[in-house]
Amino acid sequence: MSVIILGIESSCDDTSAAVIRDGILLSNVIASQKVHEEYGGVVPELASRAHQQNIVPVVDAALKRAGVDKCSLSAIAFTRGPGLLGSLLVGTSFAKGLSLGLRVPIVDVNHLHGHVLSHFIRKNENGEVPEYPFLCMLISGGNSQLILVRGYDDMEVLGQTIDDAAGEAFDKCAKVIGLPYPGGPHIDRLAAEGDPSRFKFAKPHIQGLDYSFSGLKTSFLYTLRDAVKKNPDFIEQNRNDLAASLQRTIIDILLGKLRKAVKQTGVRTVAIGGGVSANSGVRQAVADYCASAGLKAFIPERAFTTDNAAMVAIAGYYKYLSGDFCPYDAAPYARVMV
């Protein structure tokens, strides 16, 4: 009999549902919340209200697109954390309610594990997946981690940011040059037109495999402050070069640690994941590095870089296969490391 998993993701500002049958993706529906745009960041209370409005139609659409009746589901997987508590509560409560109604188990998924396991989402039987062990550079708005992945439930964080995440570095610097939130995709777009060697920003000297991005942010701000004093139109005239130089520096910081981690672990397969892995420069740099070092690279489809339920469903699928179910008194959690 087929194993059919409904995945539900509601950790931040995207409500998503996906259906996976025997490891193959049948549907992945995402409703993004526009309501936050005018505030320049996610407003938690508005996010949970929007999840409440979206969750029924999103789950319904995912089942319809998959051509699956809810009565044939084997289990419901949901993101239990980390994320915004109010948002997580919506997905968690919905999953519990539906599972009780359908008499199928629930499987809780760590959002970060979901990002790592997004490389196991296959659209057909021929889809290629990484072999264990592999190294995953998880770079998102809230996390920057280097993870040694030995199995779907065996992950070791080798290094992580000690201050800002890579996505925060993009977003905070983008804000000061007048770009809307989230700034990462705007920097990506402008960087394509700019000179990456025009400005030099500070790079951290952190021991081991930990990252730091707050020094870069300060250096970016100081460069602007001094330049704008002399020329009030500086940002307007140099936005593309600023974006390209910022992106180059973030890539250098990320790749520096990735190289070190590969050397240290001896792995032959490298993957990236999380929102920042949608960045064109990061994708190219990782592909180039892996090609030159003879490593196998897994670079996710852009749809699977940001928050999506397909990754929750695949993570839930593996947990389901090993009988790793979740009790009904499980509460969501806001913070956790891999």
Contact positions vs ligand KG4 (CB under 6 A): 12, 140-142, 167, 170-171, 182-185, 187-188, 274-276, 278-279, 306-307
Encoded amino acid at 138, one letter: L
Going through the chain in order, the beta strands assigned E by DSSP cover: 4-9, 14-21, 24-32, 75-81, 106-110, 134-139, 144-151, 154-160, 269-273, 296-298
Residue 37 CB, shortest distance to ligand KG4, in Å, is 13
User: Which tokens hold the place of 124?
Assistant: 């057909």
Residue 167 CB, shortest distance to ligand KG4, in Å, is 3
Nearer to ligand KG4, 9 or 210 (CB): 9
Spatial distance between the Cα atoms of 268 and 284, rounded to a whole number of angstroms: 18
User: Which tokens hold the place of 201?
Assistant: 């920003």
Residue 192 CB, shortest distance to ligand KG4, in Å, is 11
Nearer to ligand KG4, 77 or 104 (CB): 77
Nearer to ligand KG4, 152 or 304 (CB): 304
Residue 9 CB, shortest distance to ligand KG4, in Å, is 10
Nearer to ligand KG4, 141 or 316 (CB): 141
Spatial distance between the Cα atoms of 179 and 297, rounded to a whole number of angstroms: 31
Residue 82 CB, shortest distance to ligand KG4, in Å, is 9
Residue 14 CB, shortest distance to ligand KG4, in Å, is 7
- Say whether the peptide bond before residue 82 is cis (omega within 30 degrees of 0): yes
Residue 170 CB, shortest distance to ligand KG4, in Å, is 5
DSSP 256-309: HHHHHHHHHH--SEEEEESGGGG-HHHHHHHHHHHHHHT-EEE---GGGTSS-H
DSSP 134-159: EEEEEE-SS-EEEEEEEETTEEEEEE
Nearer to ligand KG4, 165 or 261 (CB): 165
Spatial distance between the Cα atoms of 295 and 270, rounded to a whole number of angstroms: 7
Spatial distance between the Cα atoms of 64 and 29, rounded to a whole number of angstroms: 10
Could you tell me the CA-to-CA distances from 104 to 16, 101, 114, 135 in Å, in that order? 20, 8, 21, 34
Nearer to ligand KG4, 66 or 276 (CB): 276
Residue 91 CB, shortest distance to ligand KG4, in Å, is 14
Nearer to ligand KG4, 91 or 183 (CB): 183
Nearer to ligand KG4, 250 or 326 (CB): 250
Q: Taking CB positions, which residue lies at the least distance from ligand KG4?
A: 275
Helix and strand tally (H, E) in the chain? 9, 10
